[in-house]
Amino acid sequence: MEILLTGGAGFIGSAVARQLAREGHGVRVLDALLPAVHPGGIAPRYPDGVVFERGDVRDAAVVERALRGVDAVCHQAAMVGLGLDFDDAPDYVGCNDLGTAVLLAAMARAGVRDLVLAGSMVVYGEGRYRCPLHGTVAPGPRLVADLDAGRFEPPCPRCGAALAPEMVGEDAPADPRNVYAASKLAQEHLASAWARACGGRVMTLRYHNVYGPGMPRDTPYAGVASLFRSALARGEAPRVFEDGGQRRDFVHVADVARANAAALASVGGRPAGTARAYNVGSGEVRTVGAMARALARAYGGPAPRVTGEYRLGDVRHVTADSARLRAELAWRPAVPFEAGMAEFAAAPLRG
């Protein structure tokens, strides 16, 4: 299969490129090498079977050229992370949503009908909670007064009772709570509209907290694992926000790459005009504090420091059920958490 891989120079994208090449596919990488992610402007080294082109998915002429002779598209290109503040909104919308719209329009013209889209669990917002009195509820917005007072757990919006976090399925209502999340959900809606209008087929992989070798050094757009690993490299204690009790699912980048390969192998068999989402996680719930301790232990210290700081756009708990991906694509995570953290602790960060 000949595959166009957008964002294939990034952390996840480069792992996907290597996985697809190992499986014998032809891979065309299209990446703009944006300075925020690639400060040196240098693409990674790829194995045989991978061709790199520097270009932006917002450039229709570049995308049209890259699509020639392609069987399917794996769309990883995106601006990621929570960012600095709302001033980042135009950049997120431009990179993620405009870029996706330009790509989809070019796919429609080129007659390419199969798409695997990099999604995110951030579309679920605060995840799923159960109140002992009112059942499944959606927490309200996080309040500055509560966070300043160290009250990090969301209460029931109806009675104020303590809530129990639960796993989230793909059919749960979307509730994006920051600009990045809103842009990722918009990507999904655009792809679904394209599929209906053009007879396309879409598989969206909603990633959990991806970590592993090749992560970029810490920037305002990096994930928590990168921030912790960068602190350790500087000889500093990882700074854990809130009380460290935030629940997440940390999944190794190699497992995410294999999920993309499985989706690309299956998307052509989906009914035309349809879109389907899949959660991609390890299935093991851990707290941010526990992850920081495991990484620091593997690295050899220093131990993490819980700061009580917070970011208003963060969510408290979000973990999702990956049973659909396991059942329909026969995918299983292969990298155990402790082994993955040990590898991540020893691997250099991307500059």
**Which residue numbers are catalytic?**
180
277-298 burial code (b ≥16 CB/10 A, e <16): bbbbbbbebbbbbbbbbbbbeb
Alpha helices in 111-211 (DSSP H): 144-148, 179-198
Report how far apart, in Å, the C-alpha atoms of 200 and of each of 7, 25, 88, 100 are: 21, 21, 31, 14
Residue 172's CB is within 10 A of a number of other CB atoms, namely 19
Torsion of CA 33, 36, 40, 43, to 10 degrees: -30
Which one-letter amino acid corresponds to residue 253?
V
DSSP 177-206: -SHHHHHHHHHHHHHHHHHHHHT-EEEEEE
Which amino acid makes up residue 41? G
- At how many degrees (to 10) do helices 337-346 and 224-233 cross? 50
